[in-house]
Amino acid sequence: MRKVAAFLLLAPLLLGLAGCGGAKARPLSIDEYYDRMLETQDVIIQSVSDSSDSLGSINQPDYYQMIDLENVLLDTAGVFKNAKRDAVAMNTPPEVEDAQKESIAYYSLGEDVVGEIASDVAFFRDVLPMLTDVRNLALANMVDNADLARIKAAAAEDASTMHSYDKDLNGMNPPPGLEPYKETLINFFHSIENGVADVDRAITPEDRSDFLQFKQDFEGILHQRDLYITRFLAFFMDFRIRLDYLVDAAMNREAKFDYEQ
């Protein structure tokens, strides 16, 4: 819905700026230029505000929320991309050349900032099911007197799952700012893999101590998992600060255009 709304708001601008055969449109008057700049700022403010509101609405994230959030952010990045494209194609009066360069720079910045946030959210979307799945470890959910063969099978299953998460994370390329977080998660899953593998190796009919210790430690593992989820929610606060900066910049530009007009 937001994508459609943003497009409908921007559509008159696109039609007004389009030239024939790729040629620039006719030269704009000063008043026409500022009118279009003001309309563009309105579209940007609405779209960025929608993205910020979507970020702020997430308290207990799930996979599908992450998909929806990424789509909203990509829509906003597209608004900046379209605004930049149209600004480059615009045949502006010489008097506003500097203002137009500033506009293009701002649109480029907005596209980069929102695009990077969308990439961060996509990374969180991919790792969230892994973190959620930790609660489902087969070994941790077995009764203390479970059959030895079942315990070993559960340990092998969990080790394989954690190894696959380790492998998946190593194949991901999040934005540079999330590399330390990625490495932390790799170490977390690797430690669980080692823990369940130790149970598989050490357990005997006479000695279940490693198995019982792992079950005892499981609440601590879940607590650590919860901290990692909370940590990426803290990233959302930083994302909102970045988006608020873009909104403030758009509002300042809008006030400037309104004054110049």
Mean of all residue pLDDT scores within the chain: 88
Listed as ranges, residues in the chain with pLDDT below 70 are 1-25, 258-261
Q: Are residues 150 and 224 in the same domain?
A: yes
SS (H, E, C) 85-137: HHHHHCCCCHHHHHHHHHHHHHHHHHHHHHHHHHHHHHHHHHHHHHHHHHHHC
The pLDDT of residue 5: 46
Q: Are residues 141 and 197 in the same domain?
A: yes
Q: Are residues 15 and 115 in the same domain?
A: yes
Q: Are residues 100 and 138 in the same domain?
A: no
* Digit-coded pLDDT (tens) for 51-96: 999 998 888 888 999 999 999 999 999 999 999 999 999 888 888 8
The pLDDT of residue 261: 66
Q: Are residues 187 and 101 in the same domain?
A: no
Q: Are residues 241 and 224 in the same domain?
A: no
How many other β-carbons are positioned within 10 Å of the β-carbon of residue 19?
A: 12
Residue 167 is part of which domain span? 130-235
The pLDDT of residue 24: 52
Give 248's Cβ-side CA count (13 Å radius).
6
Q: Are residues 209 and 220 in the same domain?
A: yes
Q: Are residues 27 and 102 in the same domain?
A: yes
Q: Are residues 39 and 103 in the same domain?
A: yes
Distance, CA of 189 to CA of 158 (rounded, Å) = 10
The pLDDT of residue 259: 67
**What is the count of structural domains for the chain?**
2
* Digit-coded pLDDT (tens) for 155-170: 999 999 999 999 999 9
Q: Are residues 46 and 157 in the same domain?
A: no
The pLDDT of residue 59: 82
Cα–Cα nearest to 142, from 132, 131, 133, 155: 155
Q: Are residues 245 and 204 in the same domain?
A: no
46: which residues sit within 8 A by CB, 6+ positions away? 5, 6, 9
Q: Are residues 176 and 71 in the same domain?
A: no
The pLDDT of residue 34: 86
